Each structure stands twice: as C-alpha cells, then as structure tokens.
Structure 1
Amino acid sequence: MTKKKLIKLGSQTAKRGFRTEKDIAKKFNDWQDDEDAQQWLTIMCYNLKEIERIKAIIITGSHKTDVQVQITIYLKEAIAVENLSVKLVSNPQGFNQVDKRWVDRYVEMWNIPADIAKILKLFTGEIKPKSKKLRDKRRMFLDEMDSGTQKTVIDFFAKNKILIVSDILKGNDEFPVNWMLVVFKK
C-alpha cells in the first residue's frame, strides 16, 4: 500500500472512530429509549428506575477516555461519572491499537533505562536496524534479538506490568477510564 493510501486509510479510520464516539454518546443521552444504553447501564450496576438524568459528552484531546457519562440518581445530590474508552472493530479477526506514543514518552512515564529504550526503538522502527536478515527491514521483532536482549525487555515489563497496563488501558490523567466499550461495525 502506498504512503498516500495509508494516510487516507488512517484518516478514514479516525473519522469512523470519532463518528462511533458520537453515536455512543447519543445512545447514552437517549438512554430511556435505547436498549443498548439500557443494557450497558445495567452492566455498570445501575438500576434504571433510579436514574433521573444522563448527560454523555465526548472528551477531546489526548485522553484515554473518549466518552464521559454523567448519571444523576433520583433523590441524591451526587452525580456518578463513568469514563468510557470506545474501541471500534470492523474485522472480528482484526486488532486494535490501544496506545500510540513515541518511545521517549514511555521513557518519561515509566523511567525506562536507556538500553531498553534503544531496544524498543529498534522494535518500533524509530531506530533503523542494521541487520539485513529481518522479516521487516524497517524494524526488529523481539524474537530476532539475542536471548539476553529479550530477557532484559521481558524482565523490565514483568517488573512494571501493573503500572504499564494501567497507564495504557486506564490512562494516568484527570479522566481515567472505568469501562472499555468495544463496538463492532462492518
């Protein structure tokens, strides 16, 4: 696929994702008539009869949360807030990218040592590999690296897995994700 086609595909994918976020917010805002929203609220342990009002908004910017659902319960002054990460899947055998930052950003977040940062940059293609015997000349897969290098990376991720998984799935800002909603659309 040409670079121009890849850029167009990426743009179309992003637009479909934004449309899906709007669709999900609309469903929650129409929760009294929308069976999907009612089912989601039930899964979230809300009693539909106790809900007075719902306001769903789209969170813009670099946050893991895509849609915030604000739920007002009858006879309570508090508003419950549920932050959703919405993932659009168009192919049941496909995959979805959950995070897309440069390695240096992860270095800042998780205090990744310089040697591991270099390995990750080889893996992502930020640093071009020198070896010619690779499956993909733009990057190195972990199994193409020597066993000591593999162990170094695996040990780091094993030691820091709770922090890493939490940051990638929930985020570490003012809008941490409570729920992940996967939407399948062909």
Structure 2
Amino acid sequence: MVLLLFFYSPRFISIDCGSPVNFNFVDLDIGISYTPDGAYVSTGINNNISSEYAYPNNPNLAYPLSDLRSFPDGNKNCYTLTPAAAKGNLYLLRASFLYGNYDGEDKLPEFDLYLDVNLWSSIKFSNASDVITTEIIGASVSNTISVCLVNKGLGIPFMSALKLRPLSNSIYGTELGSPVSLVLFERFDI
C-alpha cells in the first residue's frame, strides 16, 4: 500500500484567476487557500462562466473554475510569480482552464501557454464544459517565473486557476541539464 500525504505550505501559490479583489477561497477538503490574481497580473478582464456550466448545475465543479481572467488585448499576457528563493529551484506549475461560454459567444478559443519564453502547451477545447489542466515541472532561472498566454488569432486567451508548488531539487536528477522542463503526459492512479 502506498500512502501519499499532501499538506499546505506557505510556499504554495494558488491563484483563483478572475476572482474579485480581496476574495480568498479556502478548499476545506485539502486546506489550500486560493488568492485573487490581481497581485500577479496587471492586464485582462474578470469573468464568470455561464450559469449553465456553474454550480448548482454542475455540482462537481471545483470553485476556482467558476471564474476566469480573459485577455482580449495584446498578443501576450503574463502572470508573474515570485516564489521564495525562486532562482535555481524546481517547481510544479499547474494551469487550469474552463471556457464555460463565459463570453456568451459559444466559440471555443485556442491559444498557447508559455513558461517564461518556452512553449508549455497549446490549449484547445472540444466543448464548452471541458476542463483542461496542464502541468509542467521547471527550474527557475531567475527570481520570477512568468506564465504567459499567447493569442494565436483563434479566440481570446483566458485562465481559470494557476498553482505553483516548490519541489525538492533532489526529486529529479540534474543529468538532463538546467534549465529543463518536464511536461505531464499522462498520470495513472495506482
């Protein structure tokens, strides 16, 4: 039997993108506190997903996915994270997206996600209720970490939630060199 324990750390950054200023949400199941994204980004517009996709119509929806920040202006908009002792350390970043027809257009966007200057993932939805979550492990080369959304001309980029978790530098060997990023391909529950 394998037992994994997760716990809150003050070094965690959990962002509820598009939430109102001064609104903090605590996930009581796991004890993680989500903060609004205003301290991490200076552009974009706060939006709520359509009630058709929100709670109570979708009782299993995680709260941070009920709102989002969209970026109708500019080709590239970035969240700037400043974790404690960032430079040279490993981090797990997880970005989540739920379109939920927030704009009433019922037009699924497609855009790119970058970690600093490197392509992390292309975000493409198959329907408005898709929750896309993508993860990457990367080593920070400076004291800040940028997570950027890039408009490809195929709809307005947005983000629903963003999480950063510090990792022990001993988890992954350094034989790959630095900086190297690892993108989650698939995860199995065992």
Same fold judged by TM-score > 0.5?
Answer: no
User: Which of these two proteins has the greater Rg computed from alpha carbons?
Assistant: 1
Q: Which has the higher helix share?
A: 1
Q: Which has the higher contact order (CA 8 A, sep 6+)?
A: 2
TM-score (norm 1): 0.25
